[in-house]
Structure 1
Amino acid sequence: MDARLDPETGRTEGASALQIDLARRILERLIDQAASIGARVSAPELARAFGVSRSPISAALDLLTEQGILAPMATRGLQVAVDVADIDPHVLLPNSPVEELYRTMMRERAQGVLPQEVSEAELMPRYGISRGLVRKLLLRFAAEGLVQRLPGHGWRFVDSLEGEDAYRESYEFRIAIECAALKSARFHADEKQLLPVRRAHERILSDRGANTAGDEWFRVNAAFHENLAACSGNRFLTEAVRQQNNLRRMQESAAFKELPADRIEQSCREHLAILDAVETGDIDWAEALLRQHLRQAADFSLPHG
């Protein structure tokens, strides 16, 4: 499949940029889950997980079927057809120009190259794209809580995590919110929801984090914190955690920071210890472990000098 797309139309050979990007995310999810050959793939479950309708998910699954990653089951549905462990999703399904432009804008905002307040008219010549595509990208940032529309034609990016004070405040907020999520009266450890998270960590631990890229670890790490918060049954706590992850994603995209393998391994083990406590019902111990984990992460992440 040729994934080089026209940035204006987002299409080539009948596949849209959204479909190709969703196909990559589905493949990443299968890899994170250490999905085995024959594992069933659920379109409704994926649609819920990615917050999109069934139509683009179905098209993305069709692309993965064309690539031989998935295959029809004897009964209705799709299953994993190959060992996904050694597949590089970004080689098989390169980022579309739209996705690359999204990442460029995020990186330039984090670096301060892109101003905090922008207009559609300013962005069109800056990136050589149409107003429609500018608006689509800004609406995506808005959906992630990273930009707000101003009166008139302007947009304002949210404050980023620049400097020691912002990082410290972010971690103080995360400790308060994530620990509150664990102690929610409606907290329920959903085994089906947490099992893929556990498998992703076990996969990374299988080589002690040595072959894990920074962006891959960020994805697995974010999924751990967001899924744990989602078990609270409180949508506002879950959204607050997701918003913090989006802010971190924006800031860290500027640095291309690669964590040392030993730090990834340590974080994996800490996450698994928290999951163990949650799944055995020892929420007080899980909260203590989570609080300590976030404090240590703050000390490691705070900018110095």
Structure 2
Amino acid sequence: MSVDTIAQPISAGAASPLQIDLARRILERMRDAGWTVGTRVSVPDLARAFGVSRTPISAALELLVAQGIVEGRETRGLRLALDVAALDPEAILPNSPLEDLYRRMMRDRALGELPQEVSEAELMPRYQVPRGVVRKLLLRFAAEGLAQRLPGHGWRFAESLVGDDAQRESYEFRIAIECAAMRSPMFRADGKLLEQIRRAHERILSTIPNGKTLAGGDEWFRVNASFHEGLAACSGNRFLADAVRQQNNLRRLQESAGFAQLPTERLERSCREHLAILDAVEAGEIEWAEALLRQHLRQASEFASPPLSS
């Protein structure tokens, strides 16, 4: 089956924001992992990977079935029906209005147009949405560690990485935590995970000679975050992995305003440095990999403004 057989992009009203988001993440996972036509699709495995129940995963897969990307097998179950290597998840599964508003709020906070403390009553007229929508978005920020409810009716966004001191402190913390993760006695390279991360980096590098651009830099940030979180996950220490994930959330909150301005040469350099670190890890040279990671983060800290997403 060719890419031309895919149906039109799913309309915003055809599915819930969660279903669209999960379907896009599933498609990205298939593409990054190099899934081939015929690969079995396991609902329980995907549910564990994304930390949700089977019901939303099944609903998300129904969207991919409708697009001809996934199909039922002759026996029970689903399989990949289409070569996903060249597919653009954003084009097939466009953002819902709720997702667009989430990103808008994130950009406004990054630009300082939203104060650190806000109320639902203030946000309703600003974004022209009912209280239920505002609360749903704020709860999402809270779930990601980016906001907390205050006594009464207010909300407070997490401390952002605005200013030289905050950027420096963040990179110092990341160097300490991410390098400690690689020194963990429980560190074990997850070959399947690292191969998925490698494929995603190689795909991004392949777009640069063709003059292609990443939509707003969002895809690069996702791949970048998966690299750092993936290495931390290999440490076998959930607290180190959570700390790296939280730093990525804070970086996304601050750097969303600068996604579109990512210089191609810096993106390429960061991508190749990631691949060199993966090479060392896969070769069992963990001390060398840690040294490369430390150097990578130190160099990135020198270019922290504008953001590099390293």
The TM-score, its normalising length taken from structure 2, stands at 0.89
Q: Find the counterpart in structure 2 of residue 29 from structure 1.
A: 29
SS in 2 for 1:156: strand
Deviation of 1:109 after TM superposition, in Å, equals 0.9
- Identity score, percent: 71
Deviation of 1:208 after TM superposition, in Å, equals 4.5
Query: Do the aligned residues in 2 keep the contact of 1:163 with 1:303 (CA within 8 Å)?
Result: no
Take 2:207 and 2:106, find their aligned partners in 1: how far apart are those partners?
31
SS in 2 for 1:206: helix
SS in 2 for 1:256: helix
Q: Find the counterpart in structure 2 of residue 8 from structure 1.
A: none
Query: Do the aligned residues in 2 keep the contact of 1:208 with 1:262 (CA within 8 Å)?
Result: no
Take 1:277 and 1:35, find their aligned partners in 2: how far apart are those partners?
25
Q: Find the counterpart in structure 2 of residue 125 from structure 1.
A: 125
Q: Find the counterpart in structure 2 of residue 191 from structure 1.
A: 191
Is 1:233 the equivalent of 2:273? no
Is 1:296 the equivalent of 2:310? no
Q: Find the counterpart in structure 1 of residue 212 from structure 2.
A: 211
Q: 1:117 to 1:206 in 2, by over 3 A?
A: same
Is 1:246 the equivalent of 2:249? yes
- Aligned ranges 1:91-110 → 2 under 5 Å: 91-110=91-110
Take 1:129 and 1:265, find their aligned partners in 2: how far apart are those partners?
40
Query: Aligned letter for 2:223?
Result: V
Per-residue Cα deviation, 1:65-100 (whole angstroms, up to 9, x for no partner): 110111223443322222223322222111001101
Q: Find the counterpart in structure 1 of residue 3 from structure 2.
A: none
The TM-score, its normalising length taken from structure 1, stands at 0.90
Q: List gaps (5 residues or longer) in structure 2.
A: 1-7
Query: Aligned letter for 2:22?
Result: L
Per-residue Cα deviation, 1:8-39 (whole angstroms, up to 9, x for no partner): xxxx34x2221012112222222333332223
Take 1:220 and 1:17, find their aligned partners in 2: how far apart are those partners?
21
Q: 1:256 to 1:208 in 2, by over 3 A?
A: closer
Deviation of 1:3 after TM superposition, in Å, equals 4.3
Query: Do the aligned residues in 2 keep the contact of 1:160 with 1:247 (CA within 8 Å)?
Result: yes
Q: List gaps (5 residues or longer) in structure 1.
A: 6-11
CA-atom RMSD in angstroms? 2.0
Query: Do the aligned residues in 2 keep the contact of 1:4 with 1:97 (CA within 8 Å)?
Result: no
Q: 1:85 to 1:2 in 2, by over 3 A?
A: closer
Take 1:105 and 1:157, find their aligned partners in 2: how far apart are those partners?
11
Query: Do the aligned residues in 2 keep the contact of 1:182 with 1:283 (CA within 8 Å)?
Result: yes
> Larger deviation: 123-132 or 219-228?
123-132
Q: 1:75 to 1:260 in 2, by over 3 A?
A: farther
Query: Do the aligned residues in 2 keep the contact of 1:277 with 1:283 (CA within 8 Å)?
Result: yes
